C-alpha cells in the first residue's frame, strides 16, 4: 500500500511532483538520484548539493553551539544568539530543580548503566520514573525508552508484524515510517489530517481492522499544526484498529494536566497507546509509552528497541522525574509558553509571513525556494536569531521552510528582538 504519488509525501519519500520541483532548483536535487546511480555517486550528489547552497558560508546543518547560556540563549560563531530553534518548550533543561536532581544522581550512581533494562540496567529510578509517568497519564502501564525515536520504533514494530497493516499520516515523523518498515507489515499512507483518505485505506485493505495499527501525531513537527484526532481516531476505532498517537510536541503543552492533545480533546479512552519524548518539554533525552490496555501489559518485552539497548543514565532519569513533577504541578510554565507563542505568531502575521499553522510551541514559515530561505536564515543568524532551516525530504510536499519554536523561557524582549530581526531581513531580501 502507498500514498497517491504527488499528493502527500512522508519524510524520506519523494513523489514525482517533488522531484519535478527539486529538478527546477538544482541546489536541492540530492534527494532524487535515479535508481541506477551507485551508492557513492548518490552520496556525492547529496554532498555537492548541500555545498552549492551554502557556498562556503554558514551551513544550517553544521551549526556549532559554542556555549549554552540558558534554555533560549547560546553563543554561535562568537555571537550571543537568541534561540528560536530549540525544543526546550518549558525551559526545564536549565531549571535548577532538574539540574540539582541530575547532579545528585550523577554523583551517587555514576555516568551510565552499561546494560539494558532486562540485564543489569534496570534501576529503581527507572521504575520510579515509569510509575510517575503512569500516574501523570492515569495509565496502568508506562515504558521508558532511551530516545523518543526508539519509543516509536519499539512500540510500532512491537504491535505490527508481517500480515498486519500500519496506516500512517503522511506528515508523520521519520521514526514512524522507519518503525512501520521494520515491522514487516503492509504500510499505507493517508493524506495529512484526512480521515476520508484513511477510510479509503481501510476499504481497499484486505487486512482486517483488528490487525491494523493507525499512527498519527498530536502536533506535527514541521508545520506545527494539530492532528485531526477526533475524525481520524473515529475512523480507526470504527474499523477496530489499534491507535497510536505520538505526543512528542504536545506533551507538557496541551491539556489541563499537560498530558497533551489527546487529553485536551478528551480522547484518552479511545487511544490505545500514547508515545512521547523527553527531548522537548522535559528537557533531556529519552522517550516513553503509556497504555491502559491490559493486553499490552508486556509491551516492553515485545519491543526490540527496549530489549537490546542500554538504559538511560540515572542522571537523565532523575532530571526527567523532576521535570515530570513540574509539568504536572506548575501551570505557570504552560501559561508563559502560550503567551509567548501567541505574541510571536501575531508579530509574524503582522509582518505578512506565510505561517503554516495556528499559534503553538512550534511552527514554520514557507519560503520561496532554497536559496531565498538560506539567505533569510543567514540574515537572521547574523542578527543574533537562530531558527531551523528545513528542506526536502524532511518537509511535507517538497516545501522549504524556516521552522521556529517558542519557549516559556523567552522574555518579551527576546520576542521583540526576534521580530525586529525578521522585519529587517524581510526588508533587505524583499521576502514577506
62 domain residue, yes or no = no
Residues 208 and 288 in one domain: yes
Task: Give the range of the structural domain holding residue 408, as residue numbers without chain letter.
Answer: 67-92+331-429
Residue 432 in contact with residue 426, Cβ under 8 Å? yes
Euclidean distance between CA atoms 363 and 144, whole angstroms: 28
Question: What is the Cβ-side half-sphere exposure of residue 143, based on CA atoms within 13 angstroms?
Answer: 31
Euclidean distance between CA atoms 424 and 373, whole angstroms: 15
Residue 54: predicted pLDDT: 61
Residues 197 and 320 in one domain: yes
**Which CATH number covers residue 421?**
3.90.1150.10
Residue 48: predicted pLDDT: 85
Beta strands 388-390 and 401-405, pairing class: antiparallel
Q: In a 3-state reduction of DSSP, which class is residue 69? A: strand
Residue 58: predicted pLDDT: 79
Q: Which of 294, 329, 364 is the last residue of a domain?
A: 329
3 domain residue, yes or no = no
Residue 432: predicted pLDDT: 61
Residues 302 and 398 in one domain: no
Q: Which of 329, 363, 381 is the last residue of a domain?
A: 329
**Which residue, among 361, 355, 364, 357, has the nearest Cα to 339 in the 3D structure?**
361
Residues 84 and 201 in one domain: no
Residue 29: predicted pLDDT: 37
Number of domains present in the structure of the chain = 2
Torsional sign, CA 224, 229, 233, 235: negative
**Which CATH number covers residue 231?**
3.40.640.10
Average confidence (pLDDT) per 10 residues, the chain, 432 residues: 34 36 38 69 86 72 94 97 97 98 98 95 97 97 98 98 98 96 97 98 98 98 97 98 98 96 98 98 98 97 97 98 96 97 98 96 94 94 96 86 98 98 93 65
335 domain residue, yes or no = yes
31 domain residue, yes or no = no
Residue 36: predicted pLDDT: 75
Three-state secondary structure readout of 135-170: HHHCCCEEEEECCHHHHHHHHHHHHCCCCCEEEEEC
The pTM is what? 0.89
Residues 360 and 252 in one domain: no
Amino acid at each position: 500500500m502507498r500514498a497517491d504519488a504527488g499528493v502527500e509525501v512522508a519524510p524520506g519519500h519523494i513523489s514525482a511532483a517533488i522531484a519535478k520541483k527539486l529538478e527546477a532548483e538544482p541546489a536541492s536535487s540530492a534527494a532524487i538520484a535515479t535508481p541506477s546511480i551507485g551508492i557513492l555517486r548518490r552520496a556525492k550528489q547529496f554532498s555537492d548539493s548541500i555545498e552549492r547552497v551554502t557556498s562556503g558560508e554558514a551551513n544550517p546543518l553544521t551549526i556549532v553551539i559554542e556555549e549554552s547560556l540558558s534554555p533560549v540563549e547560546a553563543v554561535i560563531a562568537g555571537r550571543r544568539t537568541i534561540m528560536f530553534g530549540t525544543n526546550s518548550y518549558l525551559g526545564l533543561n536549565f531549571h535548577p530543580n532538574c539540574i540539582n536532581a541530575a547532579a545528585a544522581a550523577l554523583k551517587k550512581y555514576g555516568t551510565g548503566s552499561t546494560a539494558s533494562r532486562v540485564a543489569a540496567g534496570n534501576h529503581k529510578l527507572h521504575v520510579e520514573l515509569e510509575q510517575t509517568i503512569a500516574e501523570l497519564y492515569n495509565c496502568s502501564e508506562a515504558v521508558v525508552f532511551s530516545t523518543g525515536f526508539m519509543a516509536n520504533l519499539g512500540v510500532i514494530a512491537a504491535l505490527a508484524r508481517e500480515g498486519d497493516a500500519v496506516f500512517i499520516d503522511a506528515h508523520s515523523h521519520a521514526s514512524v515510517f522507519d518503525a512501520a518498515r521494520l515491522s514487516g507489515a503492509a504500510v499505507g499512507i493517508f493524506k495529512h489530517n484526512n480521515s476520508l483518505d484513511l477510510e479509503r485505506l481501510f476499504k481497499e485493505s484486505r487486512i482486517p481492522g483488528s490487525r491494523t495499527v493507525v499512527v498519527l501525531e498530536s502536533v506535527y513537527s514541521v508545520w506545527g499544526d494539530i492532528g485531526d484526532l477526533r475524525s481520524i481516531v473515529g475512523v480507526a476505532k470504527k474499523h477496530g484498529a489499534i491507535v497510536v498517537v505520538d505526543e512528542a510536541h504536545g506533551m507538557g503543552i496541551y491539556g489541563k494536566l499537560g498530558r497533551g492533545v489527546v487529553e485536551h480533546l478528551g480522547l484518552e479512552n479511545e487511544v490505545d497507546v500514547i508515545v512521547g519524548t523527553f527531548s522537548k518539554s522535559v528537557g533531556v533525552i529519552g522517550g516513553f509509552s503509556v497504555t491502559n490496555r491490559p493486553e499490552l501489559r508486556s509491551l516492553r518485552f515485545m519491543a526490540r528497541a527496549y530489549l537490546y539497548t542500554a538504559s538511560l543514565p540515572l542522571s537523565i532519569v532523575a532530571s526527567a522525574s523532576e521535570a515530570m513533577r513540574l509539568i504536572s504541578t506548575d501551570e505557570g510554565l504552560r501559561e508563559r509558553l502560550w503567551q509567548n507563542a501567541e505574541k510571536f505568531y501575531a508579530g509574524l502575521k503582522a509582518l505578512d509571513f506565510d505561517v503554516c499553522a495556528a499559534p503553538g510551541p512550534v511552527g514554520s514559515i514557507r519560503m520561496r525556494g532554497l536559496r531565498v530561505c538560506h539567505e533569510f536564515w543567514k540574515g537572521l543568524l547574523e542578527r543574533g536569531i537562530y531558527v531551523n532551516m528545513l528542506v526536502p525530504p524532511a518537509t511535507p510536499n517538497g516545501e522549504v521552510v524556516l521552522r521556529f519554536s517558542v519557549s516559556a523561557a523567552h522574555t518579551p524582549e527576546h520576542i521583540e528582538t526576534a521580530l525586529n530581526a525578521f522585519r529587517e531581513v524581510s526588508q533587505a531580501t524583499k521576502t514577506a
